[in-house]
Structure 1
Amino acid sequence: MANMDDSWYFFKEFKLLLYKKDFREDMLIDDVCGRHFPFFEVMSKFIEALKNHFLDRMAKKGLHIRDIMWVLTVPAIWSYEGRNFMRKAAEHCGIDGEMLEIALEPEVAAVYCLNLPLEERKTMWDLGNIGQSFLVADLGEIMNSTIGLCKRSSDDII
């Protein structure tokens, strides 16, 4: 990596730092070349890149940032500090905090299942119909898995 342009940085598995018990908002992290950077700035730039890519694509369809309710998903096992860190990083890159929700990944999976189009629900034994129960299992971190039993009780869109 000796020829690497100094304006480019590569960070590996930086999101995993939010799982650490000694996580602090003011942590420094190293890129693959050993250069130190504030973790908050790295996470904020990461979210900003995703936001800008999305906005570029949506602008072609006439959608503007003021029209968007942002939902940032996080693992269920993350601490309050980790979730709050993500909220601050998203707000730092220009996402309005009033238009931002932090949601747990298993909850989002359940909401997705409850709102599948009818054609897709038919291929999944009518998943999400009123009165039907289903199981959501988040097995991303086997030692800290989240399993939830969900049941749709009304036809309201969640």
Structure 2
Amino acid sequence: MTMEPRSRRACLIALGAVGATLLGAGLAPPAWALNVMVMNVGNVQVLTLNGKLIIGEGEFALRQALQQALNGGAQRIVLDLRGVTAIDSSGVGELVSSYTTATNRGARMVLANLPTRINEVLHITQLITVFDVYDSVDAAVGALRT
């Protein structure tokens, strides 16, 4: 599998105002921020999330990254959640909103590498039935290619 990383600017732009400030200063994102790294695997776009998917910057970062992917023509999207260290109700809501937005725009979005806590939350809320979930990015990419 060959992944093509996007520029550091594309990764930090998903952090909104925080990312713009950091980019201008040449600094790394703070530990509390959600960092979104974008990679292309063939015709599948992989959004790798690292940090806290919580109210405020976290949910905003995911929303911005997904909008950029869709505006750039992505039709197959994997959200790689292995690096998500915390999620709250706003974060869960943003996952659902992201799925709805992608679907309404004719794209297919799947989840990969769910941390235990996110897996538990999606099962408790029965939202696990809404998403296609894969154990790895490779498996998710393979499923989207068919």
Q: Same fold (TM over 0.5)?
A: no
Q: Say which one has the larger Rg.
A: 1
TM-score computed with the length of structure 2 as normaliser: 0.31
> Which structure: greater helix fraction?
2
> Which structure: greater strand fraction?
2
TM-score computed with the length of structure 1 as normaliser: 0.29
